[in-house]
C-alpha cells in the first residue's frame, strides 16, 4: 500500500462525527457607504496610497508627478507591452504599472491576475507598484471578492495590499521587506 493510500485509509477510519458545511452567505457582513474612502484611508497605513483619476488626467501623468526621477518603468496595462524571456529580467524594474481587476474596501487589497502577463515576478521585484483598477470594480468584503475573481494568469492570482512590510525587528513596522517599497492604486 502506498503512503497515500495508507494515510487516506487511516483518515477514513478516524473520521470524527459528521458536521454540516455552513452557508457563508447567510450571515450579513459589513457594508461601506463610501468604499473608496474606506479603501484609501486604510491603504495609507499600509505603505500605499490610492487616488481617483481626474478628467483629462492619464495614469502616466499621476505616476510621473509622484515619482519624477523614475528608473526603468514597465506598463502592463497597454496591449503591446514589453516582454522578457526570463523572470529574472525584471530585477531592475523601478516602476511597474499593472492592471488590477478588483479592489476590496475592507482591507485595501487589489486582486491581480493578468491574462496578458508571462512572468509574475514583476509584481514582487519592482521597487514601486502601481495598480490600475476600474473604479466600479470595488466590493465591500473578501466574500464578495471571491465570488468575482478569476485565476487568469497561469493559475496564479494575488490580493495585494499596500507595500511589502515587516515588523520582525522589535515589532517596528518597516516598509519594503522584499517586495515593493511603495504602492499606488489608481482608480480609473
Which 105-164 residues touch another protein, going by CB under 8 A? 106-109, 113, 118-121, 123-125, 141-147, 151, 154-164
Residue of 16, 65, 80, 136 that binds another protein (CB under 8 A): 16
Instruction: Tell me, residue by residue from 74 to 103, as one string, x for binding to another protein by CB under 8 A and - for no binding.
Output: -------------xx--x------------
Task: Kindly report the backbone phi and psi dihedral angles of residue 121, in degrees, each rounded to the nearest multiple of 5, phi listed first.
Answer: -55, -25
Q: Looking at beta carbons only, is 23 or 55 nearer to another protein?
A: 23
Instruction: For residue 162, count other CB atoms closer than 10 A to its CB.
Output: 25
Instruction: For residue 127, count other CB atoms closer than 10 A to its CB.
Output: 19
We find the least distance from the C-beta atom of residue 151 to another protein, in angstroms, to be 6
Does residue 27 interact with another protein by CB under 8 A?
Answer: yes
Does residue 182 interact with another protein by CB under 8 A?
Answer: no
Does residue 8 interact with another protein by CB under 8 A?
Answer: yes
All 3 cell numbers of residue 104? 476590496
Q: Looking at beta carbons only, is 1 or 65 nearer to another protein?
A: 1
Q: Looking at beta carbons only, is 9 or 60 nearer to another protein?
A: 9
Q: Looking at beta carbons only, is 4 or 55 nearer to another protein?
A: 4
HSE value, Cβ hemisphere, 13 Å, CA-based, for 150:
7
We find the least distance from the C-beta atom of residue 89 to another protein, in angstroms, to be 10
We find the least distance from the C-beta atom of residue 138 to another protein, in angstroms, to be 15
Task: Kindly report the backbone phi and psi dihedral angles of residue 73, in degrees, each rounded to the nearest multiple of 5, phi listed first.
Answer: -120, 130
Q: How far apart are CA 125 and CA 133, in angstroms?
A: 20
Q: How far apart are CA 73 and CA 140, in angstroms?
A: 32
Q: Which of 123, 66, 101, 73 is nearest to 187 (CA)?
A: 101
Report the relative pairing of strands 128-133 and 109-112 from DSSP bridges.
unpaired
Using CB under 8 A as the binding criterion, the count of chain residues that bind another protein stands at: 75
Instruction: Tell me, residue by residue from 42 to 61, as one string, x for binding to another protein by CB under 8 A and - for no binding.
Output: x---x---------------
Question: Cell 452567505 identifies what position?
Answer: 25
All 3 cell numbers of residue 147? 465570488
Stretch that binds another protein, among 49-57, 59-67, 69-77, 166-174 (CB under 8 A): 166-174
Amino acid at each position: 500500500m502506498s503512503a497515500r493510500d495508507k494515510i487516506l485509509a487511516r483518515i477514513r477510519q478516524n473520521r470524527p462525527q459528521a458536521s454540516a458545511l455552513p452557508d457563508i452567505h447567510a450571515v450579513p457582513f459589513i457594508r461601506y457607504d463610501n468604499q473608496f474612502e474606506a479603501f484609501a484611508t486604510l491603504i495609507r497605513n499600509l505603505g500605499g496610497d490610492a487616488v481617483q483619476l481626474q478628467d483629462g488626467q492619464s495614469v502616466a501623468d499621476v505616476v510621473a508627478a509622484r515619482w519624477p526621477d523614475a528608473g526603468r518603468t514597465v506598463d502592463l496595462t497597454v496591449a503591446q507591452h514589453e516582454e522578457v524571456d526570463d523572470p529574472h529580467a525584471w530585477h531592475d524594474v523601478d516602476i511597474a504599472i499593472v492592471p488590477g481587476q478588483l479592489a476590496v474596501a475592507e482591507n485595501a487589497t487589489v486582486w491581480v491576475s493578468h491574462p496578458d502577463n508571462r512572468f509574475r515576478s514583476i509584481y514582487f521585484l519592482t521597487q514601486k507598484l502601481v495598480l490600475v483598477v476600474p473604479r466600479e470594480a470595488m466590493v465591500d468584503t473578501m466574500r464578495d471578492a471571491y465570488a468575482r475573481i478569476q485565476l487568469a494568469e497561469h493559475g496564479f492570482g494575488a490580493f495585494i495590499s499596500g507595500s511589502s512590510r515587516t515588523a520582525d525587528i522589535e515589532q517596528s513596522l518597516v516598509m519594503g521587506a522584499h517586495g515593493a517599497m511603495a504602492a499606488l492604486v489608481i482608480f480609473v
